[in-house]
Amino acid sequence: MADLARLSLNTVTVREQWDLPQAIEGCVRHAIPAIAPWRDKLAAYGLGNAVRHIRDAGLAVSSLCRGGMFTAADAAGRMAAIDDNRRAIDEAAALGAQSLIMVVGGLPPGSKDLPGARAQVRDGLAAVLPHARAAGVGLALEPLHPMACADRAVLSTAAQALTLAEALGDGVGVALDCYHVWWDPALAGSIAACAGRILGFHVSDWRLETRDTVFDRGMMGDGVIDLCGIRGMVEAAGYHGLIEVEIMSRLDWWQRDPDAVLRMVQERFASAV
């Protein structure tokens, strides 16, 4: 059973119901100790407002979601992505976020060059890494399920993310999202190999009858992922930090009363994670 002291609310879980100040107040009301904001809501509230509000609320910030999206059809697009990632690093530093989540980007528009896209990702990360190191912000490479390879992340497995993190060196690690990595036959060995480089751990569930591969994530315990088992692997690899609940659910949880969602998050965090 996961300790509620490790629970962090990834704000996408209540994205459709609450803006960032409401999510912060929701965490306070439910005694959830940590939060992971998304940049669109952060921009809407204002960085300074968010920094003050989160600090005054006494919340830890497990991560900022998200940087990445380095792949582009031309050099100007790649440079714009690098500039935007530097801003994201500054925001993460201001928030005291434990890491910046990196969803690295898919194939550039019109391209079928997957190795080329992966090279763009590596080069983009290398370009922003000095800024991240100077700011003290860890870059957390998040592998996404291969169904997202074309449009969101050419990083698909924990092993692939670890290989890239090790090649880039200090300041780069891996974020393990159960929704994206649970199916991987090499998962146990890959998580063990990630020891010392795990910067984040995200939970939700994979509904047996998934109706939308992005926006139909299940509440922990409502699907087929062995969340306790994966948590055990992550802890055996030395990660005992915050655990983000990240549920994108257009058809269900985004339709519900957000306070009821947070109560269910806590209940299932304790019983199913």
Q: Which residues of 61-72 are buried (b: 16+ CB within 10 A; e: fewer)?
A: bbbbbbbbbbbb
**Distance in angstroms (rounded) separating the CA atoms of residues 203 and 181:** 11
For Zn ion, which is the closer residue by CB, 26 or 143?
A: 143
**Smallest distance from the beta carbon of 142 to Zn ion, in angstroms?**
6
**Distance in angstroms (rounded) separating the CA atoms of residues 120 and 249:** 31
- Our measurement of the distance from residue 185's CA atom to the centroid of its chain's CA atoms, rounded to an integer in Å, reads 22
For Zn ion, which is the closer residue by CB, 202 or 207?
A: 202
**Smallest distance from the beta carbon of 25 to Zn ion, in angstroms?**
23
Which residue of the chain is nearest Zn ion when measured via CB? 177
For Zn ion, which is the closer residue by CB, 78 or 206?
A: 206
**Smallest distance from the beta carbon of 223 to Zn ion, in angstroms?**
15
Point out which residues bind Zn ion (CB under 5 A): 177, 202, 246
**Smallest distance from the beta carbon of 178 to Zn ion, in angstroms?**
9
Q: The tokens of 178 are what?
A: 């159960």
For Zn ion, which is the closer residue by CB, 78 or 161?
A: 161
**Distance in angstroms (rounded) separating the CA atoms of residues 168 and 79:** 19
